[in-house]
Structures are given as structure tokens and as C-alpha cells.
């Protein structure tokens, strides 16, 4: 019997999870879900995270050691960071255009605003503290943070991905610089073989994907509904226009900007791109984490989209950490939405400040669930919008996080495909019409 394609397996898990979640939320199965369903989702995420550090390390060393010379690395690096910045600025601009045209904050009722601010006081405080911790550092801090002082310490925490990238790059470069290459050939072979093993492990973890996704979605639905599903639904309705504005911005990125970029810059058919990447996009939706999705994104880009290991191993881990188009688009919409609710009119200079801070904030956001809303505090601060306004959007943050993570992952894969094409590293480049 032919095996069901991975994206169908995940879609089935996703829908069953949604249906289970709806039934559970309305039948008071909160405790059962927390005890017996949620753990399977956690196990799945843990397996994905477990593989992320070894995958990035081994794959990047393997990729760099296969380079013709080091100049290829600098050309790839410059291109990657340049395109990442351009797509992020485009995402913020699209978000700003959408929110200024639709004006979702204008019709928001004053009563609900006050109620929400009161209800979420504690949450706002903790978000503020986390944002302040990020902010209180000098301009060069991000470079300082990139260089590990203890490799094993970096490898023990998934949040230090840039440090792992730094170590792997140096190791790979040193590997090609050794004058007597016969001495390091065994090491190159080792990493080549280890890379295959790790990719196989990703395949094995994916056998568990339908169950993991089912558990994640079921649990999210129950948590979103809380103890009073009807009240939760009312809040969602109140935020419908805002949510739709964010979704519109995200949709423009996925349905227009990326396909055009792929066509124009890589002569790549979006149909093939979408078909190859779909499982990673669905996983991004289910986990709300680009970091947890990274192993699958890398595997799909290499094995289905034809991006070489050299390019994928460098561009994708970097993208998961610094390129978040969905997050930056959402931050722009959210900042202006909150300003609108508070009756503030943001002028051109404030909107440009949002472009700058949302771009930087998305670079600084961790690739984990809910990171975007913490960095949003910094965007709000930069244009003088009251931070307590964040209370208005907490209720819909998780579903929007799921959607923006899809865009974050799609953006990374798009750039990887473009860089691979321009570097002559796109294997079996399709000429599908």
C-alpha cells in the first residue's frame, strides 16, 4: 500500500486535534487533556528540539567543508543577510499598509478596552520585564552574544543557535584551511556520514508527527477556550477585525511576495516549492516555533526543493534565528492597532520608526512560541504607545503566533532557494511550467 504523504498525515492529525479540542473544551475534559493528551505534544516538541543542535552543528560543518573556497561563504553570507533584511522590511511595510487602510482599532469599544487592561495586568508586567531584560544591552551586545565562551554550554541550550553556527563555521573553515587535506579526510567523511544519520533521525521523528500534532492542537484548543468557551468566543469576535488584518498581511507575504521572489529571482515554480515545503509549514503552524520546525525545514529544503546541503545548512539555521517576516508584519499591525484603540494618530516618522524597530525586534525574537509579543513591547515603547495596550491582543496571540510562524518558516525556505539558485547550488533545478 502506498504510504500517505507526510503533509496529509499532519493535516489529519491537525484536524482530529481541532475536533478533539472543541469537544474536550465543551465537555469539561481539561484535566484529562492536560494529563493524557498534552504530554504527547511535549514529547514530540522535545524530540524536534533534541535533534536541532546536533543537526545544525553537523550539517553546517559538513556544508562548509564541501565549499570550493572561503570566498563562497562570504558571498553566500552577504546575500543571505541582505535578502533577509529586505523581506523583513517588506513584511513590516505590508503590515503597516494593511493596518492603516483597514483601521481595526478605530471601532474597538472603550468598555472592552478597560476590561481587558484590568484583566491582564499581571501578564503585561511579566512581558515588560522580559522585554526590559532584552533591551538593557549595548549596541554591540548581539555580536558579543554570538561568540560562545564555552561550546558545551552553548550546545546545551537551544536558544544559543547563533553560537552553534559561529562554532560550526569556524570549525568548517579551519577544516578546509588545513594544508595537508589527507589528514582531515576522515573527519570530513565522518561529518558527511553523521549528516545522513541525523536526517534519517528526522524521518524517524516524523513518524510520530500525526500523534504529536494531534496532541498539540487538542491541548491548544482546550487552553484557548479556558473554563468558559462562550466567553472566549466573544473575545475572539471582538478581535476579529484586528486578527483578519494580521492574517491579510501574512497572506500577502505567502501568496504574493514569496511566489514572486521565487519566480523572478530563482525561476522556481511555487507549486513545487509549496508541495515540498508543506509539511514544514504545517509543523510550524502546530508548534508555533521556527526552532522546533528547523529540522524538518532543513530536510525538506535539501531533499525536496533541491537546495544543496552547503546552502541549507547555513541559510536556514540563520534564518530561524534572525529572519521572522511573519513576526515583524504582526508587530507592525499590532503596534498601530493598539495606537488606534488609544486614539493616537501615528505620523510618518513614527511609522518609519516602527519599520526600523519591528525589523530589529523580529531579528531579536527567539524562535519559540510567544516570542513576538515580548519584543512587541519594544516596538510600542519606541513610538510612545502605552504598553498596557498589549492586554488587548493576548487572547488571540496564540492562533496568530501559529500563522506568523508559518510565514517565518516559508520566508527562510524562500531565501534558501534563492541563494542556492544564485550560487549554482540548486540541485535538479526544475523547469516546471
Minimum distance of ligand ASP from residue 305's CB (angstroms): 20
Return the number of the residue (66 or 411) whose C-beta is nearest ligand ASP: 411
Q: How many helices (H) and strands (E) does the chain have?
A: 21, 0
How far apart CA 299 and CA 280 sit, in angstroms, is 9
Contact 280, 409 (CB under 8 A): yes
By residue count, the chain amounts to 433
Contact 34, 218 (CB under 8 A): no
Q: Which residue is nearest to ligand ASP (CB)?
A: 372
Minimum distance of ligand ASP from residue 331's CB (angstroms): 8
Contact 417, 311 (CB under 8 A): no
Return the number of the residue (254 or 426) whose C-beta is nearest ligand ASP: 254
Return the number of the residue (209 or 291) whose C-beta is nearest ligand ASP: 291
SS (H, E, C) 180-199: CHHHHHHHHHHHHHHHHHHH
How far apart CA 196 and CA 174 sit, in angstroms, is 22
Return the number of the residue (154 or 408) whose C-beta is nearest ligand ASP: 408
Contacts of 289 (CB under 8 A, 6+ apart): 45, 367, 368, 369, 405
Return the number of the residue (229 or 370) whose C-beta is nearest ligand ASP: 370
CA atoms within a 13 Å half-sphere pointing along the CA-CB vector of 98: 26
Minimum distance of ligand ASP from residue 377's CB (angstroms): 13
Return the number of the residue (37 or 373) whose C-beta is nearest ligand ASP: 373
Return the number of the residue (93 or 289) whose C-beta is nearest ligand ASP: 289
Contact 398, 357 (CB under 8 A): no
Return the number of the residue (45 or 426) whose C-beta is nearest ligand ASP: 45
Minimum distance of ligand ASP from residue 316's CB (angstroms): 13
Minimum distance of ligand ASP from residue 369's CB (angstroms): 5
Residues that bind ligand ASP (CB under 6 A): 288-290, 324, 327, 365, 367-372, 401, 404-405, 408
Minimum distance of ligand ASP from residue 390's CB (angstroms): 13
Minimum distance of ligand ASP from residue 232's CB (angstroms): 21
How far apart CA 35 and CA 13 sit, in angstroms, is 19
How far apart CA 146 and CA 161 sit, in angstroms, is 9
Minimum distance of ligand ASP from residue 179's CB (angstroms): 42
Return the number of the residue (61 or 294) whose C-beta is nearest ligand ASP: 294
The separation between the first and the last C-alpha atoms of the chain, rounded to the nearest angstrom, is 31
Return the number of the residue (299 or 397) whose C-beta is nearest ligand ASP: 397
How far apart CA 50 and CA 156 sit, in angstroms, is 10
Minimum distance of ligand ASP from residue 371's CB (angstroms): 4
Nearest Cα residue to 248 out of 101, 377, 410: 101
- DSSP per position, 17-37: HHHHHHHHHHHT-HHHIIIII
- Residue 355, burial from CB neighbour count under 10 angstroms (0-12, 13-18, 19+): middle
DSSP state of 307: B
Minimum distance of ligand ASP from residue 227's CB (angstroms): 25
Amino acid at each position: 500500500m502506498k504510504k500517505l504523504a507526510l503533509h496529509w498525515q499532519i493535516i489529519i492529525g491537525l484536524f482530529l486535534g481541532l475536533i478533539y479540542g472543541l469537544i474536550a473544551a465543551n465537555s469539561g475534559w481539561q484535566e484529562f487533556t492536560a494529563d493524557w493528551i498534552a504530554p504527547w505534544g511535549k514529547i514530540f516538541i522535545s524530540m524536534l528540539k533534541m535533534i536541532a543542535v546536533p543537526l545544525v552543528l553537523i550539517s553546517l560543518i559538513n556544508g562548509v567543508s564541501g565549499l570550493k573556497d572561503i570566498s563562497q561563504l562570504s558571498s553566500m553570507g552577504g546575500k543571505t543577510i541582505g535578502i533577509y533584511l529586505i523581506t523583513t522590511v517588506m513584511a513590516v511595510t505590508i503590515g503597516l499598509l494593511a493596518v492603516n487602510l483597514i483601521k481595526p482599532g478605530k471601532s474597538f469599544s472603550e468598555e472592552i478596552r478597560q476590561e481587558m487592561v484590568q484583566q491582564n495586568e499581571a501578564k503585561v508586567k511579566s512581558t515588560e520585564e522580559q522585554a526590559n531584560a532584552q533591551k538593557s544591552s549595548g549596541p554591540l551586545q548581539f555580536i558579543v552574544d554570538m561568540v560562545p565562551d564555552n561550546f558545551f554550554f552553548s550546545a546545551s541550550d537551544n536558544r544559543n543557535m547563533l553560537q552553534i553556527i559561529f562554532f560550526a563555521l569556524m570549525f568548517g573553515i579551519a577544516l578546509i584551511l588545513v594544508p595537508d587535506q589527507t589528514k582531515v579526510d576522515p573527519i570530513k567523511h565522518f561529518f558527511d556520514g553523521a549528516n545522513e544519520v541525523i536526517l534519517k533521525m528526522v524521518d524517524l521523528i516524523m513518524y510520530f508527527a500525526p500523534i504529536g500534532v494531534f496532541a498539540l492542537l487538542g491541548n491548544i484548543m482546550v487552553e484557548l477556550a479556558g473554563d468558559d468557551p462562550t466567553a472566549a468566543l466573544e473575545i475572539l469576535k471582538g478581535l476579529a477585525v484586528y486578527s483578519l488584518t494580521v492574517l491579510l498581511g501574512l497572506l500577502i507575504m505567502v501568496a504574493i511576495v514569496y511566489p514572486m521572489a521565487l519566480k523572478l529571482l530563482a525561476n522556481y515554480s511555487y507549486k513545487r516549492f509549496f508541495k515540498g515545503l508543506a509539511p514544514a509549514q504545517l509543523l510550524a503552524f502546530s508548534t508555533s516555533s521556527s526552532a522546533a520546525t528547523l529540522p524538518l525545514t532543513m530536510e525538506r529544503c535539501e531533499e525536496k526543493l533541491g537546495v544543496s546541503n552547503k546552502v541549507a545548512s547555513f541559510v536556514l539555521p540563520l534564518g530561524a534565528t534572525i529572519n521572522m517576516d511573519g513576526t515583524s508584519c504582526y508587530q507592525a499591525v499590532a503596534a498601530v492597532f493598539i495606537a488606534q484603540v488609544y486614539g493616537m494618530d501615528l505620523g510618518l516618522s513614527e511609522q518609519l520608526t516602527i519599520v526600523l524597530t519591528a525589523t530589529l525586534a523580529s531579528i531579536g525574537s527567539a524562535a519559540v512560541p510567544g516570542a513576538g509579543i515580548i519584543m512587541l513591547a519594544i516596538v510600542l515603547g519606541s513610538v510612545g504607545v502605552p504598553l498596557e495596550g498589549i492586554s488587548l491582543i493576548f487572547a488571540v496571540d496564540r492562533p496568530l503566533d501559529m500563522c506568523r510562524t508559518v510565514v517565518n518558516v516559508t520566508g527562510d525556505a524562500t531565501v534558501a532557494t534563492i541563494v542556492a539558485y544564485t550560487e549554482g547550488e540548486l540541485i535538479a533545478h526544475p523547469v516546471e511550467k
